[in-house]
């Protein structure tokens, strides 16, 4: 049986992910305390359920500390376990709570309010403190699985990323090449960040401006009129040297982020070329955050 555990920051899109997994044939359970994951997973495995997805959050802080051991025991029981950690910038989370008018889970727990020193304050004034406190709670588990930064993602783009996540093979480290725009900030899920703004920008060529790094004309320009091939080769050599070390460190994924000014031309092309270089050696995925935001590609 395959188990996908979905966790991360409250308001980062766990419900969207769980719905996408349910549409993909997973038996889904939301807001399950960690202490119940093991017996439920083993029970469903005995009944030959092939796929299970569980969402867990910080409402049971003590349970979260036991996630690592719980996952290890499930793997020993023959269950294929994968953890998906969702994250988002604080300003985006505050906006989402403001739009939905929902309360943060930690604001409902008296012990959390007491720990934060928020007694007697309105919930709206404590939202920022709750979010920052939640980050502290989750810091020990965010490195256990695949991270997704949902800050600027629309639900449709997040669902598409989940479908890509399901295609990853477990057992070997998976490489995720992600292009992004520096003007939108560095992705929270990036492990390695490479700046490709040193390359000539196709944005300033009229016929290339509306295109993306996925278009042959832009690819031809970057391949023949810039130092992109040399830069890509240097990045590839660095990765070839160090990927095995990340793999030996029990990492299940490595997110390589490549940034340019607008996230439309140079970073997209470089991400695609690097994925081609490593395809066949390691499981590879490509994400284009800038194109997702603009609805391109």
Give dist(CA 186, CA 256) in Å, integer: 11
Torsion of CA 87, 92, 94, 100, to 10 degrees: -100
Question: In a 10 Å sphere around its CB, with 0-12 CB exposed, 13-18 middle and 19+ buried, how is residue 150 labelled?
Answer: buried
Query: For residue range 109-132, what is the model confidence (pLDDT) as tens digits?
Result: 555 445 545 454 444 448 888 899
pTM for the structure as a whole: 0.68
Pairing of strands 146-149, 80-87: parallel
**φ/ψ bin of 57: left (φ > 0), alpha (ψ from -120 to 50), beta (otherwise):** beta
pLDDT of residue 250: 63
End-to-end Cα spacing for the chain: 35
Query: For residue range 28-52, what is the model confidence (pLDDT) as tens digits?
Result: 999 888 889 999 999 999 999 999 9
Give dist(CA 99, CA 179) in Å, integer: 28
Q: In the 8-state DSSP scheme, what is residue 284?
A: E
Number of Cβ within 10 Å of residue 37's Cβ equals 24
Contacts of 149 (CB under 8 A, 6+ apart): 87, 88, 187, 188, 189, 190, 289
Q: Where in the chain is the domain with CATH 3.40.50.300?
A: 2-160
Contacts of 244 (CB under 8 A, 6+ apart): none
Sign of the C-alpha dihedral computed for residues 20, 24, 29 and 34 taken in this order: negative
Number of Cβ within 10 Å of residue 156's Cβ equals 12
Question: Could you give the 3-state DSSP secondary structure of residue 4?
Answer: strand
CA distances, 273 to each of 28, 31, 60, 228, 231 (Å): 36, 40, 43, 10, 11
CA distances, 222 to each of 3, 111, 203, 210 (Å): 42, 56, 12, 15
Number of Cβ within 10 Å of residue 226's Cβ equals 18
CA distances, 114 to each of 103, 108, 122 (Å): 17, 11, 13
User: Which positions of the chain have pLDDT values less than 50?
Assistant: 112-113, 116, 118, 120-125
pLDDT of residue 91: 92
Which CATH number applies to 2-160: 1.25.40.20, 3.90.1280.10, 3.40.50.300, 3.30.1360.120?
3.40.50.300
pLDDT of residue 123: 44
Question: Could you give the 3-state DSSP secondary structure of residue 66?
Answer: coil
Question: Could you give the 3-state DSSP secondary structure of residue 288?
Answer: strand
DSSP calls for 22-46? HHTT-EEE-S--GGGHHHHHHHHHH
pLDDT of residue 290: 87
């Amino acid at each position: 049986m395959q188990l996908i555990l979905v966790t991360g920051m409250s308001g980062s899109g766990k419900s969207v992910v769980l719905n996408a997994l349910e549409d993909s044939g997973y038996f889904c359970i939301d807001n399950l305390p960690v202490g119940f994951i093991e017996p439920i997973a083993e029970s469903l495995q005995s009944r030959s359920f092939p796929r299970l997805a569980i969402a867990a959050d910080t409402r049971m802080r003590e349970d979260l500390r036991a996630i690592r051991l719980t996952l290890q025991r499930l793997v020993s029981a023959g269950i294929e376990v994968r953890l998906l950690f969702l994250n988002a910038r604080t300003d985006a989370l505050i906006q989402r709570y403001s739009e939905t008018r929902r309360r943060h889970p930690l604001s409902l727990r008296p012990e959390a309010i007491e720990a934060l020193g928020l007694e007697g304050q309105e919930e709206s004034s404590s939202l920022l403190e709750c979010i920052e406190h939640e980050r502290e709670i989750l810091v020990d588990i965010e490195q256990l699985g695949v991270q997704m930064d949902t800050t600027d993602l629309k639900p449709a783009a997040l669902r598409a990323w989940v479908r890509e996540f399901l295609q990853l093979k477990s057992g070997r480290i998976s490489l995720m090449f992600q292009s992004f725009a520096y003007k939108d900030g560095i992705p929270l899920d990036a492990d390695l960040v490479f700046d490709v703004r040193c390359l000539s920008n196709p944005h300033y060529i009229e016929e290339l401006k509306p295109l993306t790094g996925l278009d042959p004309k832009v690819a031809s320009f970057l391949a023949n009129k810039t130092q992109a091939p040399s830069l890509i080769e240097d990045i590839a050599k660095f990765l070839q040297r160090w990927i095995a070390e990340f793999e030996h460190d029990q990492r299940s994924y490595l997110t390589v982020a490549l940034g340019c000014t607008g996230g439309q031309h140079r970073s997209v092309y470089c991400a695609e070329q690097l994925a081609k270089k490593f395809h066949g050696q390691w499981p590879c995925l490509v994400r284009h955050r800038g194109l997702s935001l603009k609805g391109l590609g």
